[in-house]
Amino acid sequence: MSVRLSWRPLGDVKINDEGSLIFPSMHSLLNKGGIYRITGRRPIDSKGTHDRPARWWFYIGQTGNIQARMYKYRNPGPDQKTNIRINNALRFELERGTEVYLHVSFDMELRVGRQWMDLDTDSTTQRTLAETAALYQAYRTADPLDVDMLNKGLDDSVDREFKDAPWPY
């Protein structure tokens, strides 16, 4: 079995003078589901979460509505732990000068045997399959000395890189 997807860049994530997140325009994504990747590139002289020169960090997720998910990251509710964690992480990284990018994937395929079939972005199960494949690939290929991962670990614990992060997890 194989999963294939392609990332489409949407643009930069910014922070305004009031400290609120600004996501790229998503008018074309109204009510569209898929998987997304938020990637940060830190300034060359900055340190990662363990006082080492980690230049990159990322977060990968899936949702039935990308536009609504980014709204929740911008305006998390008081009981939305993941949305609060992502909001705090993004604001912290942007305030320290990290460049943050948003990519999405709607074109996802699954191969079973020799046959490729499209994955349905309206299906939570199929989006989760693509998200898990993207996370697994990222965890297995990322250089742990140069990349911090904001996702929880594959065992559902907070990833080792973020246990001592300056934002709540």
Q: What is the CATH number of the domain that holds 122?
A: 3.40.1440
- Work out the widest C-alpha separation in the chain, in whole angstroms: 53
Domain contains 63: yes
Tell me the pTM: 0.82
Instruction: Flag whether 17 is in a domain.
Output: yes
Strand order in the sheet with 108-112: 2-5, 108-112, 115-118
pLDDT tens, position by position, 31-61: 889 999 998 888 766 555 555 556 778 899 9
> Is residue 118 one of the residues assigned to a domain?
yes
First to last CA, the chain: 33
Q: Encode 123-157: b = buried (16+ Cβ within 10 Å), e = exposed.
A: eeebbebbbebbbeeebeebeeeebbbbbeeeeee
Which domain covers residue 69, as residue numbers? 2-159
Residue 27: pLDDT band with limits 50, 70, 90: confident
In a domain, 168, yes or no: no
Q: Is residue 109 part of a domain?
A: yes
Tally the domains of the chain. Answer: 1
Q: Is residue 166 part of a domain?
A: no
Q: Which one, of 54, 55, 53, 73, lies nearest residue 63 by Cα?
A: 73
* Residue 164 located in a structural domain: no
What pLDDT is attached to residue 20? Answer: 94
Question: Where residue 136 falls among pLDDT bands split at 50, 70, 90?
Answer: confident
- Write the pLDDT tens digit of every residue in 64-93: 999 999 999 999 999 998 899 899 989 988
Q: How confident is the model over 117-142, as a mean pLDDT?
A: 87
Residue 162 has what pLDDT?
Answer: 43
Say if 127 falls within a structural domain: yes
